[in-house]
Amino acid sequence: MNSLVVKDLCKTYIVNKRQNHVLRNVNMEVKEGEMVAVMGPSGSGKSTLLYTVSGMDHVTAGKVDFFGRDISKMKPGEMSDLRLDEMGFIFQQMYMLKNLSIYDNIILPAYQSKNGRGKEKRQEINERAKGLMHKLGISEIAENDINEVSGGQLQRACICRSLINRPKMIFADEPTGALNQQNSKEVMKELNRINREGTTVMLVTHDMKVAAKSDRVLYIEDGNIKGEYGFGKYTAQEEARERERKLSNWLMEMGW
């Protein structure tokens, strides 16, 4: 089964009456359980690709199937339910609400979901949130304000939030972009684990170390996928260097 099937996807932005063809007939697939990284120069359309295939932004033309459902034709309400219930999002800028604790930020999407109504459901959500926070090592900051935690902790909290509704797929735009090496490594460890447990992941990154831990890397240039490099699943820390070396050679061929 495919998580995502993208056919002839085009995205054109119009700014000051000028057309900017950002995505030009992109075709791609992400298999269920796969972890795919998207790399490419700045401005090549990576974020735009992530946003259009996840229904955060409209497509100009083409078709996007998410687990067999055509999201390019969905009504806004239907789309936002799907995003809330079946997709998880992680960004470079870690958006959390300022007047809520870390814990409340994490459970919010679950309380917002139609599946999260009623006392029993809420109890379940609270258990799940605690479990996730424990897993990601941030139980002790549950009641902290979002400005009372480190960048790495905040990003791990964002991962908890993205997982609270047990999404089928996670979309991440430079999830480690604002983190130092150590925190970046920890976040990747969590993403790899989540992925091994069955959640499909599509992430955009500039970081070779991050991309080397994915199953497959897509290289996008001028709004088109220029090539792809398949690794297979990342399993052991020992392989990391070798994978980075291979990826580096391939990226050089791609003109990165």
Q: Smaller CB distance to ligand ATP: residue 21 or 185?
A: 21
Using CB under 6 A, which of the segments 41-49, 74-82, 133-141, 157-165 binds ligand ATP? Answer: 41-49
> 4-33: which residues touch ligand ATP (CB under 6 A)?
13, 15, 20, 22
Taking the complex as a whole, how short is the minimal distance between the CB of residue 45 and ligand ATP, in angstroms?
Answer: 4
Burial class (CB in 10 A: 0-12, 13-18, 19+), 33: middle
Taking the complex as a whole, how short is the minimal distance between the CB of residue 49 and ligand ATP, in angstroms?
Answer: 7
Query: Taking CB under 5 A as the rule, does residue 176 contact Mg ion?
Result: no
CA dist list (Å): 139 to 78, 106, 136, 251: 34, 12, 8, 39
- Please report which residue ranges of 67-221 form alpha helices under DSSP H: 76-86, 102-112, 119-135, 151-163, 181-196, 208-211
Taking the complex as a whole, how short is the minimal distance between the CB of residue 158 and ligand ATP, in angstroms?
Answer: 18
Query: Taking CB under 5 A as the rule, does residue 92 contact Mg ion?
Result: no
Query: Taking CB under 6 A as the rule, does residue 43 contact ligand ATP?
Result: yes
Q: Is 142 helix (H, G, I), strand (E, B) or coil?
A: coil
Q: What is the 3-state secondary structure (H, E, C) of 28-67?
A: EEEECCCEEEEECCCCCCHHHHHHHHCCCCCCCEEEEEEC
Exactly one of 3, 44, 47, 92 binds Mg ion (CB under 5 A); that residue is 47
Q: Smaller CB distance to Mg ion: residue 112 or 224?
A: 224
3 binds, among ligand ATP, Mg ion, none (CB under 5 to 8 A by kind): none
Beta-bridged to residue 88, according to DSSP, are: 170
Query: Taking CB under 5 A as the rule, does residue 52 contact Mg ion?
Result: no
Those residues whose C-beta lies under 8 Å from the C-beta of residue 75, and which sit 6 or more positions away, are none
Exactly one of 26, 35, 48, 219 binds ligand ATP (CB under 6 A); that residue is 48
Which tokens go with 57?
């932004």
The angle subtended at Cα 165 by Cα 159 and Cα 170, nearest 5°, is 50
Which tokens go with 209?
């170390």
Query: Taking CB under 6 A as the rule, does residue 62 contact ligand ATP?
Result: no
Going by DSSP bridges, is the β-strand pair 169-173/87-91 parallel, antiparallel, or unpaired? parallel
Q: Smaller CB distance to ligand ATP: residue 68 or 76?
A: 76
> 84-103: which residues touch ligand ATP (CB under 6 A)?
none
Taking the complex as a whole, how short is the minimal distance between the CB of residue 23 and ligand ATP, in angstroms?
Answer: 8
Q: How many residues bind ligand ATP (CB under 6 A)?
A: 12
